[in-house]
Amino acid sequence: MLRNALPDKIKSLGILKSWGIRQQLLKLRILLTRFENILLTLFFLSIFFVPKSIQAQSINSIYVDGNLVSNCTSGNYSIANRNCNGKDGNAYKTIASGLSNITSGQTLYIRSGTYTENGKTIPSLGSFASMVVISAFQDEAVTWKNDTIYSATLPLSSNANNITVKNIHFVGKRYISSNEHSWEQYQSNVWRTLPASNPPAEVVEVKQGCDVNFICARTTGLASQTPERTSIAEVVSGIDGDFYQNYPTDFTLYVHSATNPGARSDIWETGTGSTVGGSSSGTGRVVIQNSTFDGNGHVHLKGGYQWLVQDSVFKNIGTDANDHHIYAWGVLTNGNEAIYERNYFVDDPGMGAAIHIYGYGYQVANSGPIYHIARYNIFQGKSFWAVAAWGSYLTIANNSIYMAGGKMGVDMPSSTHHDNTVVNNIFVGPIELSAIEFNSSSTNNDFENNIVFNATLKRTLNCTNCIIQNNYANTNPGWISTTPSTISDFHLKAGSLSIDKGKNLGALYQNGLDNNSSSWPIAIVNQNNAGSFWDIGAFVYNIASTPTQSPTESQTPTLTPTSAPKPGDANGDGIVNGIDYVIWLNHYNTQTQNSNADGDFNSDGTVDGIDYVIWLNNYS
């Protein structure tokens, strides 16, 4: 360095004995140090303060933009102008084209807009050597719409692995079942989609005012039904249990045909309608984050994958007991579980389960699904089950469940379902059967610290080597409302019996929903930092502040909350700068559990281009 070399030159002149000269040299050294710092600063500025369009080229990203006239395949996409006159990489007009060109480690950013595409044109995604991400670009609103009832929106193959989907609003079409009957009652009959005009000759009668968006009538549709219904009038009459019912305006219309009693593939195929997934045999890593799933014929998520489903909203799925929000089959391992956490399930009357953990071997010990975790979720509505836990080594913990007349909260029907944990949950009825159902011959299950209100805790009395203790029957959990219709209604009131009554499940289960947060996604709070003991249910009563209370309720004394890490700040110094960029760069395209410390600023387990965008947006 210049400042180190200069004193040696002076020494060679033999003039260091002069005190005045020493002082001058000290001043010169300080000036040179400052000059050197300026040079370093300019160097870093030359790295970090470049146009975003140039920075984008350093990230392994491609784009989908419905505004494009044609694909940009020469690196000539413009993020700013949304055309092919830039230098921001490749971009494609359709999601199908984008997915056909995605490679390991890439992020596919979808620009704002509505994209109507499904598995008829979209390729089934397979295995990637490193995580690929399919995401809305930054904070833009993306709607991915499926206009059929019998195809997957995003199909995954049996070997699908290392796929993340985030920040997408999925919209699909439901179908209407009959009296909540199962599929078998449709397979040999003739329910049929009615066109908006010129209905086919075999349609017997359509009530005046009906169209393709409005359900006017339906029958049981049983092939063995005698006599077969031949008119809407007979349907309305209620003969043999048939009935008439009106529905809102967002459903596909089906009518019964008396002249074509053969099997109809368009009805059976409703069972194949899914949003993401498809294969029961897949065990690869699939991540779903901060997305909304609104409408489908059968399931939203389906397959045996190692799911990580976080901070997402599920609603409007099918209408019979075979239709579920999540239909998971995975036979997984300890430490590599499928995890469903901090999600909001709006359950529809007649549907099956919000989370159905199932497999063909579910009645054979250890052959069905094993090692799944459902924690800190909110369930609202009348489904058959909240969680159908048809497996072993499953953990159902700290969920808030409002059944509104459903049959069962958590169900474990087979004697082979063993070593399951159901702890710290809130069940609020009415529930037709019980909050927890399990086979009397099952073994080694743990039911602790659950609260049940307006329902029966359990029907089965015996369970070999099971722990059934510290449960609270006929206990009001202290929600803002015990008939919740919004997320905020699940918040805990001051003095709630759910506060400090939970069991400490360790570090893997410590992060719940902040009781002071209502906007989605809900903020996270550590149970160990929020009170003396753990709370029961999905929300953690953070004594830093309280939600809105009625005027008669006293407020709890407050403590200073633990501040959340600043987005993009990898080293925790409170400043987002070049040092944090270097940390991100050193860990780019790797898997980590260290979140911010390794540059994983959105804590999805992968250091990727999205984390770079977070750093860039917070750079100061």
- CB neighbours of 237 closer than 8 A, spacing ≥ 6? none
Mean pLDDT of 542-561: 40
Please provide the average confidence, as pLDDT, over all residues in the chain.
76
Q: Which amino acid is at 271?
A: G
Lowest mean pLDDT among 422-436, 500-514, 537-551: 537-551
16: left (phi over 0), alpha (psi -120 to 50) or beta: alpha
Three-state DSSP at 6 gives helix
- CB neighbours of 489 closer than 8 A, spacing ≥ 6? 479, 480, 481, 483
Find residue 395's DSSP bridge partners. 373, 421
271 token code pair: 């069972």
Is there a contact between 405 and 433 (Cβ–Cβ < 8 Å)?
A: no
Name the residue with higher pLDDT: 369 or 478.
478
Three-state DSSP at 10 gives helix
- 167-180 pLDDT, tens digit per residue, is 999 998 765 443 33
Kindly tell me if the per-residue pLDDT of 43 is higher than 60. no
State the Cα–Cα distance between residues 182 and 298, nearest whole angstrom.
12
State the Cα–Cα distance between residues 467 and 2, nearest whole angstrom.
73
Domain ranges of the chain: 2-48, 53-171, 189-262, 330-540, 578-618
Is there a contact between 535 and 502 (Cβ–Cβ < 8 Å)?
A: yes
Is the preceding omega at residue 155 within 30 degrees of 0, hence cis? no
Name the residue with higher pLDDT: 503 or 598.
503
The DSSP result for 400-419, as a single string, is EEE-TT-SEEEEE-STT--S
> What interhelical angle do 19-48 and 2-12 show, nearest 10?
160
Mean pLDDT of 411-433: 93
**Residue 423's closest CA among 450, 442, 403, 443?**
450
> What integer pLDDT is reported at residue 37 of this predicted model?
53
Kindly tell me if the per-residue pLDDT of 229 is higher than 70. no
| Ramachandran angles phi, psi of 171, nearest 5° | -130, 130
> What integer pLDDT is reported at residue 75 of this predicted model?
94
Residue 39 pLDDT grade (very low, low, confident, very high; cuts 50, 70, 90)? very low
> What integer pLDDT is reported at residue 254 of this predicted model?
42
**Residue 294's closest CA among 309, 278, 279, 275?**
275
Task: Quote the distance between the C-alpha of residue 615 and its chain's center.
Answer: 23
Name the residue with higher pLDDT: 441 or 223.
441
Kindly tell me if the per-residue pLDDT of 541 is higher than 90. yes
| Ramachandran angles phi, psi of 356, nearest 5° | -110, 105
Mean pLDDT of 238-242: 36
385 token code pair: 């089950």
Kindly tell me if the per-residue pLDDT of 231 is higher than 50. no
Is there a contact between 150 and 270 (Cβ–Cβ < 8 Å)?
A: yes
Q: Which amino acid is at 282?
A: G
Find residue 380's DSSP bridge partners. 346, 402
**Residue 256's closest CA among 274, 272, 243, 246?**
243
On the 0-12 / 13-18 / 19+ scale of CB atoms within 10 A, 435 is buried
Kindly tell me if the per-residue pLDDT of 12 is higher than 70. no
Query: For residue 66, what are the CA distances in angstroms to 63, 113, 122, 144?
Result: 10, 7, 15, 11
> What integer pLDDT is reported at residue 576 of this predicted model?
87
Q: Of 36-50, 97-111, 149-163, 335-349, where does the model show the most confidence?
A: 97-111
Residue 417 pLDDT grade (very low, low, confident, very high; cuts 50, 70, 90)? confident
**Residue 296's closest CA among 313, 312, 318?**
318
193 token code pair: 């989609």
Kindly tell me if the per-residue pLDDT of 184 is higher than 60. no
> What integer pLDDT is reported at residue 606 of this predicted model?
83
> What integer pLDDT is reported at residue 85 of this predicted model?
96
> What integer pLDDT is reported at residue 540 of this predicted model?
97
Q: Where are the alpha helices (DSSP H) in 81-183?
A: 95-100
Report DSSP state, residue 89. B
Please work out, in degrees rounded to the nearest 5, the angle formed at the alpha carbon of residue 532 by the alpha carbons of 528 and 535.
70
Q: Of 93-97, 237-241, 277-281, 443-447, where does the model show the most confidence?
A: 93-97
Is there a contact between 78 and 84 (Cβ–Cβ < 8 Å)?
A: yes
* pTM over the 0.85 mark: no
> What integer pLDDT is reported at residue 137 of this predicted model?
95
Residue 364 pLDDT grade (very low, low, confident, very high; cuts 50, 70, 90)? low
The DSSP result for 12-81, as a single string, is HTT-TT-HHHHHHHHHHHHHHHHHHHHHHHHHHHHHHSS-HHHHHHTS-EEEE-TT-SS-B-SSB-BTTT
Residue 350 pLDDT grade (very low, low, confident, very high; cuts 50, 70, 90)? low
| Percent of the chain clearing pLDDT 90 (strictly above) | 46
> What integer pLDDT is reported at residue 118 of this predicted model?
85
Kindly tell me if the per-residue pLDDT of 220 is higher than 70. no
Residue 589 pLDDT grade (very low, low, confident, very high; cuts 50, 70, 90)? confident
What is the pairing mode between strands 524-526 and 511-514?
A: antiparallel
Name the residue with higher pLDDT: 15 or 183.
15
